[in-house]
């Protein structure tokens, strides 16, 4: 999967940013398991809404963990537990690239699609760089 961007507010869109079939909590947080080239680019957003959609299972839930990109690699952010079908969480991304890690699954779904939608636009007020 290539880099993705959150869905736009004006179109009421969300973007599938992850598709997994298993709990990833045993996978070390590194660039091999979570390639920066497959991150979600949130450059235009202060916050995004993230929610799961499940295929199969019995009353499935997901625990999602947000990884934020820094020059030192991935930084582990908030963990949101026991999200049911379509239950959204608002994540403060401050324009950074993120990776949504499926930290836990219950109810044996065959697949979980993690959706991301822009929530609050980001207004950068710093310098333009060199």
- pLDDT of 30 reads 96
Give the pLDDT confidence score for residue 94 in this predicted structure.
Answer: 92
Residue reference for tokens 């995004």: 48
Supply the pLDDT for residue 126. 60
> How much is the pLDDT for 10?
77
Sites in the chain below the pLDDT cut of 50: none
pTM for the model: 0.89
pLDDT by residue (tens digit) across 13-40?
999 999 999 999 999 999 999 999 999 9
Could you say which architecture CATH assigns to the domain 15-121? Sandwich (2.60)
Output the pLDDT for position 59.
Answer: 96
Q: Hey, where are the domains in the chain?
A: 15-121
Question: Token digits for 129?
Answer: 């760089």
How far the first Cα of the chain sits from its last, in Å, is 32
pLDDT at 97: 96
CA angle 28, 29, 30 (to 5 degrees): 105
């Amino acid at each position: 999967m290539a880099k993705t961007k959150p869905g736009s507010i004006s179109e009421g869109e969300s973007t599938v940013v992850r598709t997994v079939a298993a709990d990833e909590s045993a996978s070390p947080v590194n660039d091999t398991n979570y390639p920066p080239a497959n991150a979600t680019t949130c450059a235009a957003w202060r916050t995004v809404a993230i929610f799961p959609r499940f295929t199969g299972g019995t009353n499935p839930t997901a625990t999602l963990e947000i990884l934020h990109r820094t020059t030192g690699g991935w930084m582990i952010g908030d963990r949101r537990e026991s999200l049911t079908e379509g239950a959204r969480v608002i994540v403060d991304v401050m324009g950074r690239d993120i990776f949504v890690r499926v930290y836990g699954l219950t109810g044996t779904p065959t697949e979980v699609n993690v959706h991301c939608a822009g929530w609050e636009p980001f207004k950068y007020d710093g310098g333009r760089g060199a």
